[in-house]
Amino acid sequence: MKLSGEIALASGFIFDYSNMINTDTITPAVIETLESKAKDAADALLLIREQGMAKAHLSKDGTPEHVLFTKLPFVKNGNPNTPESIAKLKQFGSYLQQEIDAVVFLGVGGSYLGNKVLFDIFAGSGWNVGCEKSRHGYPRVYFSGNNLDVDQYSEVVDEVEYLATHRLGKNEQFRVLLVPISKSGTTLETLAAFSYFYEQCQKSSLLQMEVAVVTDLDEDISPLYNLAKENVWQCFDIKEGIGGRFCIFSDPGLITAAAIGMDIDAFLCGARDMENACQSASLGENPALLNAVLKYAAAEKGVDIEVFMPYAAKMKSVGEWYVQLLAESLGKRKDREGNVVYYGRTPVSAVGSTDMHAQTQQHQDGKKDKVIQFVEILEREQQIVLNNPFTHISSLKKYDGLSVDHALKIALAANEEALNSDGRLNAKYILPRIDEYYLGQLLYFLMLSVAYEGELADVDAYDQPGVETYKQIMKQKMSHQ
C-alpha cells in the first residue's frame, strides 16, 4: 500500500501526515501490519452507524447503552437532532437577541468545554465589552459552574450587577438568563453554581432572572428537569447515547451557538460532510481512520503523548476540548475483553506561536514520546501588515512590510522542519479558514479519529469508569459534611 503523505478532501480540509511515516517509529511496513485491524475498525464504526451500538459498551449502571454521535450531523426525525429541535434552538436564539441582556451558562466537562470553543471562536474576548450593536443584539455571555471556585462565582455576579447598575441592558431591569447544563441534573459543580446564581438574582432588585435548562428530559433521572417543570422553565434535551465529550453537535453545545448567532446549519453541514468522507475501509481514502492508525502505531511504539497545537490563539479552547475527548475516550485500564492494557495517550494543549517559547524546548529536546499535532489556517479574515515606526533602529527594519499572518506561517513551518530534523513525529490538519463549516469538519474529524482508535486498541471509547472512582470517594466524603 502506497501512502502519498496527505489526504485532501473536496471541501478543502487536508490531513498532512507526511511527517508521521517513513521514520524509525512508523514505517510503511508497520502500517501494512495494521491494515486488517483498520478494516475491522471501519466495520465496527459501520455497526455504530447502522445500529447505534458499540461492542461491549454499557452505561455506568451496567446496562446496554446506545452510541449515537454519528447521527448528530443528520437533522431528521428519529435522530438526536430533528427539524423541530433545531428550529427550537434558532427561535431561542432570536428570543435572546431581542429580550435578554446576559446569559450565564453553567456546566462542566462536555457541558462546558465545547460551548467555550464556540464562544471563543465566533464571539471572542471582545464580545462582552462591545456595544449591543456590535453583538447584533445578542446578549453578553458568561460561563461558570466549570469549577468549584468562589472567586469565579463572585466575578460573574459582580460584573452582571455592575452592568445592571449602569443600565447597560435593553430594559428597565437587566434581564439575566441562567442555563444549567447537566445530563443527570445532579452534577455538583453545575448545581452548586446554579443554586448560588439563582439566589443572587432573586435577592437583587436590579436583575430580572429567567432560567432555561439542558438536561435529560426524564423525571426519574433528572431532578433539574423536575425543577424546570415545577417552575415552567424552558427545557432542552440531552439525548441518551450522546456522551458529554461528543455533545457539541447537539443541544448542550448548540444552545451556545444559538446565543451568539452562529450558523448552526453550516456547523452541522461541516460535520456531515466529514462523516460522509470518513467511511471507507481504505486508509488512503479515510483521513480519520488513517489518523487513528498512525496515532495507534505511535502509541504502540511508546509515543504516548499528543500535543495539540493550533496556530491560532482563538483555537486554544479547541485544544482544551480535545484534551477531554482524547483522555476520557482512550485512557483505559482494560480492553473490552477484560485484559489490563493501560492504553491511552496523554493530551497536552498548546498554541502556536505562543508555546514555541514555552513547550517547544521539551518537544525538540525531551524524550521522543510525543506526537505534535499542528492545525494550520490558510486564510484569515483580517490581515495586518506592519509599518516600522522606528526607522532609525536598523535591527527593526525587517519588520517593515511584514505580514503578521505570514510570520505565523513561517513559525509553523520552522517548527515542523526542526522536529523533522530530529525524526520527531508531527502531523498537520489544514483548514482553508475558521468558520462554522470548517470548525464542524475539524471537531467531527477528531471525534471519528478517537472512535476508530478505540476500535484499534479494543477499548471502549464511550465510557469513563476511572472517573467513577473519585466520584464515589467524593460522594462519601460529602455525606460526612
Name the least confident of 268-282, 437-451, 460-474.
460-474
Percent with pLDDT over 70 in the chain: 100
Give the integer Cα–Cα distance in Å for 191 and 207. Answer: 20
Quote the DSSP letter at residue 207. Answer: E
Name the least confident of 14-28, 74-88, 404-418.
14-28
Give the integer Cα–Cα distance in Å for 192 and 471. Answer: 16
Q: What is the mean pLDDT of residues 379-389?
A: 93
Q: Give the pLDDT band (50/70/90) at residue 61.
A: confident
pLDDT per residue as tens digits for the range 66-87: 999 999 999 999 999 999 999 9
- Structural domains of the chain, ranges and CATH numbers in brackets: 6-56+268-467 (3.40.50.10490), 69-262 (3.40.50.10490)
Give the integer Cα–Cα distance in Å for 314 and 309. Answer: 12
Using DSSP bridges, classify how beta strands 174-180 and 207-215 pair: parallel, antiparallel or unpaired.
Answer: parallel
SS3 182: coil
353: burial class by Cβ within 10 Å (0-12, 13-18, 19+)? middle
Position 480 pLDDT exceeds 90: no
Position 59 pLDDT exceeds 80: yes
Position 171 pLDDT exceeds 80: no
Position 447 pLDDT exceeds 90: yes
Position 1 pLDDT exceeds 80: no
Question: For 287, how many CA atoms within 13 A lie in the half-sphere containing its CB?
Answer: 29
Report pLDDT for 276.
99
pLDDT per residue as tens digits for the range 198-244: 999 999 999 999 999 999 999 888 999 999 999 999 999 999 999 99
Q: What is the mean pLDDT of the chain?
A: 96
Q: What is the mean pLDDT of residues 443-466?
A: 98
SS3 214: strand
Report pLDDT for 169.
76
Q: Give the pLDDT band (50/70/90) at residue 23.
A: confident
| Contacts of residue 77, Cβ cutoff 8 Å, sequence gap at least 6 | 83, 84
Report pLDDT for 70.
99
The one-letter amino acid code at 129 reads V
137: burial class by Cβ within 10 Å (0-12, 13-18, 19+)? middle
Position 470 pLDDT exceeds 80: yes
Report pLDDT for 19.
97
Position 481 pLDDT exceeds 90: no
* Cα dihedral across residues 291, 292, 297, 302: positive or negative: positive
